[in-house]
Amino acid sequence: MASVFRYYAGWADKYKGDFFPPTDGFYKIVEHEPIGVCAGITAWNASLQFLAWKSAPALATGNTIILKPSEKSPLGTLVVGYLISKAGFPPGVVQIVVGGGPTGHLLSSHMNIQKVSFTGSTVTGRKIQDAATKSNLKRVTLELGGKSPGIVFDDADMEKTLFWCTFGITGNTGQVCAATSRLFVHESIAEEFVSALKTRFKAIAAGMGGDPLDSDTTYGPIIDEMQYQRVCEFVEEAKADLSPEVGGDSYAGSGYFVAPTIFLNPPDNAKIYREEVFGPVLCVKTFKTEDEALTLANDTDYGLAGSVYTQDLKRALRVSRAIRGGTVGVNCASVVGPQVPMGGFKLSGVGREMGEYALRHYTEPKSIWISAAW
């Protein structure tokens, strides 16, 4: 979070406009004006990260912002709000409101709010965009769901690829919009690779329910009972037709836990293969050719992220460019940083967060024409 604020603090006096000489008899000046009052509605799975993504570029370009954290994880945002007030921000520059869906709707439809940035599900994103359109046509940035693919070629570094493919679906217990939830492995290495992946998943499952204050505990629970039940329903429905290669277990005790789970070669129309689960559930399919892998990878309504694993640089660049996703990792899972944009194609969103690109969403360009004959 701090790195994002530092990055955009550096932009505050550097986001410049343009000037064009009077070759047609007019000097032309382009300025970027603050858009006004903005709203940032954040998801529960990385609330402080999303707070920074939305408020830092808004503030750097001279706007004010109202932040609404998810009702499932509001405390961190409230603490940051307290720190902002202690830091000496003028009253009203950053405001925080708490509440559920109705509060988000009020922000999205308010006539005095000029911009809303939302991170969350595609279903809710549609509602945000609808409310924004029906009110004052406010600007909208949506960072939504995903069903991100990973492609593992036969020349991939086995150990490094196993690390990233494991992290890509078990990090934050799979509760990440860019999680690598679909994996396509070359048929010549599939048996060995899946076997090694199962070993890693079993080791992670063995630590479920550990003390969260213990440094050895690396795998946490699902956020709450509602999400736990949703993930379990996905798994149980899939188990009616497929036996999981590993995992498929769950228990609610000291928290709501779901073991990392792999389904091998599910049908193309399987719900668990098509829809975002938002849990530690991985679908693995095999492929023969690069073209087949890309067809499988892009056969989704989402386009948030993707990854490709190979030691062939030309192939890596070729495949990464062909994957229809906003962020593609080469020999790594999807990663983020303040310098580059984050966002999705297709149902994964509208607009971009972070990088210089985010600044464009918080300003209005104005063209000023000055007669050279004046």
Amino acid code (one letter) for 75: L
Of the residues 143, 245, 276, 353, which is catalytic? 143
* pLDDT tens, per residue, the chain with 374 residues: 899 999 999 999 999 999 999 999 999 999 999 999 999 999 999 999 999 999 999 999 999 999 999 999 999 999 999 999 999 999 999 999 999 999 999 999 999 999 999 999 999 999 999 999 999 999 999 999 999 999 999 999 999 999 999 999 999 999 999 999 999 999 999 999 999 999 999 999 988 888 888 888 889 999 999 999 999 999 999 999 999 999 998 888 789 999 999 999 999 999 999 999 999 999 999 999 999 999 999 999 999 999 999 999 999 999 999 999 999 999 999 889 999 999 999 999 999 999 999 999 999 999 999 999 87
Task: Give the pLDDT of residue 243.
Answer: 95
CATH 3.40.309.10 in the chain, residue ranges: 148-330
Say whether domain 148-330 belongs to CATH 3.30.930.10.
Answer: no
Tokens of 38: 């903005």
Annotate 169-195 with DSSP letters as a single string.
Answer: HHGGGG--TT-EEEEEEETTTHHHHHH
Per-residue pLDDT, 218: 83
CB under 8 Å to 285, separation ≥6 — which residues?
A: 182, 183, 184, 185, 264, 265, 266, 296
Calpha distance 119→145 (Å, rounded):
9
Q: Which residue spans of the chain are classified as CATH 3.40.605.10?
A: 1-144+348-371
- pLDDT at residue 210 in the model: 83
H/E stretch holding 31 reads strand 26-34
- DSSP assignment of 37-102 equals EEEEE--STTHHHHHHHHHHHHHHTT-EEEEE--TTS-HHHHHHHHHHHHTTPPTTSEEE---SHH
In this prediction the pTM is 0.95
- Domain 1-144+348-371, CATH class in plain words: alpha beta
Specify which residues 31 forms β-bridges with. Answer: 366
**H-helix segments, 275-349:** 290-298, 313-322
How far does CA 340 lie from the centroid of its chain? 13
Q: Which residues pair with 366 in a beta bridge?
A: 31
Cα gap 117→354, rounded to integer Å: 12
Decide if 276 is catalytic.
Answer: no
